[in-house]
Amino acid sequence: MLKQLQLAALACGLVSSGLQAAPAQQPPVQLQPLIAAMEQRLEIANDVARSKWHSGKPVQDSERERQVIQNAESRAGEFKLAADDVREFTTAQMEANKMVQYARIEQWRETGHSPEKPESSLTDGIRSRLDTLLPVLMQSYSAFQPYRSDAKCPGWVQSEIQRQASDPVIVTALQRAAGDLCLLTAGQ
């Protein structure tokens, strides 16, 4: 009770002195669909992990990664993006995807509980879902470009990740996937 009274007194003091806490600036609306698409890609990683668990394939697939990066880079101009930015962004998405795969496989090993097989195979359905998501990611990434250098960008990104995701594995992977979204200069 004492603490509540102290907080109320502090609030009254701020208002009466003319000092008011500035409302937190909301993230730009362009961030929500970008984080949602990134999270959707990571949710698909659960199916990739299940497929690889059952097939015995390794998580690391350098040839597939090379193809995905080349495909994304070849479409950069379509979304008014620089090829280098697309390569960096796409690589971050794949690294985050692998984080989910490794985490899930480790969970299954630790528990001794084999996951159910995914509804579709890696090559017949899962990869096509990832490929279909690529233009959504790139369009959302393009729309967010004007906000990448804003000093509030890191806070916006973390806030949106926390708002959209609750699974600790997905949250950690989203933080990796979003690690280079904000372009901050030294001193910011």
Position 63 scores a pLDDT of 95
Asked if the structure places residue 82 within a domain, the reply is yes
Residues 72-108 have pLDDT tens digits of 999 999 999 999 999 999 999 999 999 999 999 999 9
Position 119 scores a pLDDT of 78
Residue the block writes with tokens 């233009």:
135
As for how many domains the chain has, the answer is 1
CB atoms within 10 A of CB 186: 4
Which structural domain, as residue segments, surrounds residue 104? Answer: 29-177
Residues 112-146 have pLDDT tens digits of 988 998 777 777 788 889 989 999 999 999 999 99
CATH code (residue 90): 1.20.59.10
Residue 156 has pLDDT above 60, yes or no: yes
Asked if the structure places residue 33 within a domain, the reply is yes
Asked if the structure places residue 1 within a domain, the reply is no
Asked if the structure places residue 13 within a domain, the reply is no
Residues 30-70 have pLDDT tens digits of 999 999 999 999 999 999 999 999 999 999 999 999 999 99
Q: Could you tell me which residue, 107 or 19, shows the higher pLDDT?
A: 107
Asked if the structure places residue 109 within a domain, the reply is yes
Asked if the structure places residue 137 within a domain, the reply is yes
Q: Average pLDDT of 158-181?
A: 96
Spatial CA neighbour of 157 closest among 134, 136, 183: 183
How far apart CA 161 and CA 174 sit, in angstroms, is 7
Position 185 scores a pLDDT of 57
Residue the block writes with tokens 């699974």:
167
Residue 171: C-alpha distances to residues 48, 96, 121, 134, 158 (Å): 18, 10, 26, 20, 9
Position 85 scores a pLDDT of 95
Asked if the structure places residue 90 within a domain, the reply is yes
What does the CA dihedral 153, 41, 177, 172 come to, rounded to 10 degrees? 100
Amino acid at 118: P
How far apart CA 52 and CA 48 sit, in angstroms, is 6
What is the chain's mean pLDDT, rounded? 86
